[in-house]
Amino acid sequence: MVIAAVFAGGKGSRMGNTETPKQYMMLGKKPIIVHTIEKFYINSKIDKVIVLSPAIWVEQTKDLVKKYIGDTEKVSVICGGGTRNDTLMCALEYVKENYGLNEDDIILTHDAVRPFVTHRIIDENISCTLETGACDTVICATDTIVESLDGKTISAIPERKLMYQGQTPQSFKIKKLYEICKSLTDEEKEILTDACKIYTLKGEPVSLVQGEVFNIKITYPYDLKIANALLEGGKKND
Amino acid sequence: MINAVYRLTAPRLLDVCYQDIAINDGKVIIRPLKLSICKADQRYYQGTRSREVLSKKLPMALIHECVAEVVFDPTGTFKAGDKVVPIPNIPTKDDDIIAENYRYSSFFRGSGYDGFMQDYIACDPERLVEIPDGVNLTVAAFTEIISVGVHAISRFEKFSHARRDKIGVWGDGNVGFIIALLLHYIYPESKIYVMGTVHEKLSYFTFAEGTYHVDDLPKDFVIDHAFECVGGAGSRSAVNQIIDYINPEGTISLMGVSENFVDINTRMILEKGLRVYGSSRSGREDFVRTVELLHQYPELSRYFENIVGDEIPVHTIEDIHEAFRRDYSRNFGKTVMEWKK
């Protein structure tokens, strides 16, 4: 079974003055989250799409799915958690409860605010995870990455050609992911906010899948402006 | 859903743009598997069309020859994973007399309307023809150009008299090869002759009764009907040579595209009572017949496999440029892009 978990957690506190969580803002004629869900919904390799929404947005998210996608059992909207790790655990517990955790089942975790994800990226996440157990979607770093331990002076500048920028999806064999997450102590959970980081620190290999520069994360108002400009930049067919 | 569309914005300049496509308005969502480059795409890419045409039609996604996989079908016509060939012609009005590919009201993908170089393509179900298992997908990628040949032959059936002992094909390129091969299969009793300018290319037409260099035609050579598949600067000499060698009341199918007007010997057209007719593009019934032919004659497919000069996996925009570069440097054969974008 292949499951997609679309993470729509958070309160959108970084969207300037607006109170609306960023994934519910309009991109073209649809909310960002709808564009994202559609990509996983139409992919026949994916058996189930779980949308994890902030508690107070669950009903509205269900409304949006019904309005734009229609009545479907393929998409379920459930409540996410307060942190990324909590949201991940909500997804895993939901799968465990409804389908059981099977050795060969995989889960793709994706940010609701990355609507530009492509069919290829999704397909390669599936094939790569089936083959190697876990993968992360990345692009080559274009900016030099500077490390500073004290926030005042540079402590190191890693070699750029070895640096990548992480995107999503991040994908895993679900049973293994569940076991690893369950083994974390509270202190580890505080620090390990990224599932791939958890794997890496536990010595588990994570393969790389080539992302796209345009698979942007709509985090700030600036990003939304760019996303809208990209979308409206298309010429109308005449 | 946001779709990535790869458009030619200016000659040799490709850019990706993003369009919202609906997933529930009665269209089938397909994804290209293999895309085949046509000479018409190459003319846009190289910028050899007129400035007026380029400024009117670009930016535009190229490619109108494609085999695709059904991703999502809310109409229930197909199931996910089915292999289909999308028809680039999009009729907007019905007409009992004029074929869909000749109507002013029809759109054509890859000519003023975005072609198939996209992440997803939304199509009406009747614009898709299913490819049965066993048909080679690389050949299926250029079903469209084969269907153009099938269409030309269906017009030939309509317009030509019954004496079809000797049929001449002028042109030793891809279209000439496709037409000559289809004629050979559809009219096994007829003798097919191919005329060209490159001996090496003429040697590929092993199934033909005879091949001749245009400068070396036997004096007593005659044909009953002819297909002109030359186009460009060679159109004039090809059409006039056909007029010289064709028997009275024969038909001449014009298939080669020329950017300029072509002087032809109308006196002899009159004197011999010839019928000269145009043929361009194709419609649904031609696609269906083409797929049936490919399925019916597996050896036909093997001939077509042999004209694929390059099959290039496309992961990046640079790979698309490479495919067009290699196609441009080839004097014969098709270039197919395996769509991994």
Q: What is the tens place of the pLDDT at every residue in A129-149?
A: 999 999 999 999 999 999 999
Question: Quick check: A4 and A52 in contact, CB under 8 A?
Answer: no
* pLDDT given for residue A169 in this prediction: 98
Determine the pLDDT at residue A12.
43
Q: What's the pLDDT at A28? A: 92
> Which pLDDT band holds residue A9 (cuts at 50, 70, 90)?
confident
Are the CB atoms for A148 and A155 separated by under 8 Å? yes
- Tell me whether strands B83-86 and B128-130 are parallel, antiparallel or unpaired: antiparallel
Six-digit token string for A101: 């955790």
Categorize the per-residue pLDDT at A234 as very low, low, confident or very high, splitting at 50, 70 and 90: very low
Grouping H, G, I as helix, E, B as strand and the rest as coil, residue B220 is coil
Q: Is the pLDDT score of B278 beyond 70?
A: yes
Rounded CA gap, B252 and B238, in Å?
11
Question: Closest to B18 (Cβ–Cβ): which among A38, A210, A230?
Answer: A230
- Rounded CA-CA distance A180/A133 in Å is 13
* pLDDT given at position A188: 85
- What is the pLDDT averaged over residues B169-180? 97
- A235 has a pLDDT exceeding 50: no
Chain A residues with CB under 8 Å of B60 CB are 235
Structure confidence at residue A82 (pLDDT):
86
**Confidence check: pLDDT of A92 > 80:** yes
Q: What is the pLDDT of residues B89-141, one digit of tens each?
A: 999 999 999 999 999 999 999 998 999 999 999 999 999 999 999 999 999 99
User: What mean pLDDT comes out for the span B186-203?
Assistant: 96
Q: Structure pTM?
A: 0.90
pLDDT at residue number A18: 58
Closest chain B residue to A121 measured between Cα atoms? B341
Tell me how far apart the alpha carbons of residues A64 and A79 are, in angstroms, rounded to a whole number: 15
- Distances, alpha carbon A205 to alpha carbons A129, A131, A162, in Å: 11, 12, 17
Average pLDDT for residues A92-121, to the nearest whole number? 97
Q: What is the pLDDT of residues A29-62, one digit of tens each?
A: 999 999 999 999 999 999 999 999 998 899 999 9
B281-326 tens-digit pLDDT: 999 999 999 999 999 999 999 999 999 999 999 999 999 999 999 9
Residue A21's pLDDT band, with cuts at 50, 70 and 90, is: confident
Separation of alpha carbons B200 and B203, rounded Å: 5
Task: Check CB contact under 8 Å for B20 and A69.
Answer: no
pLDDT score, position B193: 98
* Residues forming beta bridges with residue A4, ordered by sequence position: A49, A108
Q: What is the DSSP letter of A75?
A: E
Q: What is the mean pLDDT of residues A160-172?
A: 96
pLDDT of residue A233: 55
Question: What pLDDT was estimated at residue A10?
Answer: 65
Q: Is the pLDDT of residue B42 over 90?
A: yes
Contacts of A234 in chain B (CB under 8 A): 5, 17-19
What are the chain A neighbours of B17 within 8 Å (beta carbons)? Answer: 230, 233-235
Percent of chain B with pLDDT over 90: 96
The reply to whether omega before A169 is within 30° of 0 (cis) is yes
pLDDT > 70: percent of chain A: 92
- pLDDT reading at A14 higher than 80: no
* pLDDT value, residue A187: 85
Q: What's the mean pLDDT in B270-276?
A: 98
Most confident of A16-30, A119-133, A180-194, B293-307: A119-133
CB burial of A32-55 (b: ≥16 within 10 Å; e: otherwise) equals bbbbbbbbbbbbebbebbbbbbbe
Q: How far apart are CA A188 and CA A200, in angstroms?
A: 13
Q: In angstroms, rounded to a whole number, what is the distance separating the alpha carbons of residues B27 and B22?
A: 8
- Of B228, B173, B232, B174, the closest CA to residue B49 belongs to B232
Residue contact B7–A70, C-beta within 8 A: no
Q: Which of A26, A120, A128, A224 to mutate to test the interface with B (most CBs of B within 10 A)?
A: A120
Q: CA A54 to CA A11: how far, in whole Å? A: 7
Q: Does A38 touch chain B (CB under 8 A)?
A: yes
Alpha-carbon distance B18 to nearest alpha carbon in chain A (angstroms) = 5
pLDDT at position A236 is 43
Task: Tell whether the model's pLDDT for residue A238 goes beyond 80.
Answer: no
Instruction: Enumerate the residues of chain B whose CB falls inside 8 A of the CB of residue A70.
Output: 24
Q: If you average pLDDT over residues A86-106, what whole number do you get?
A: 96
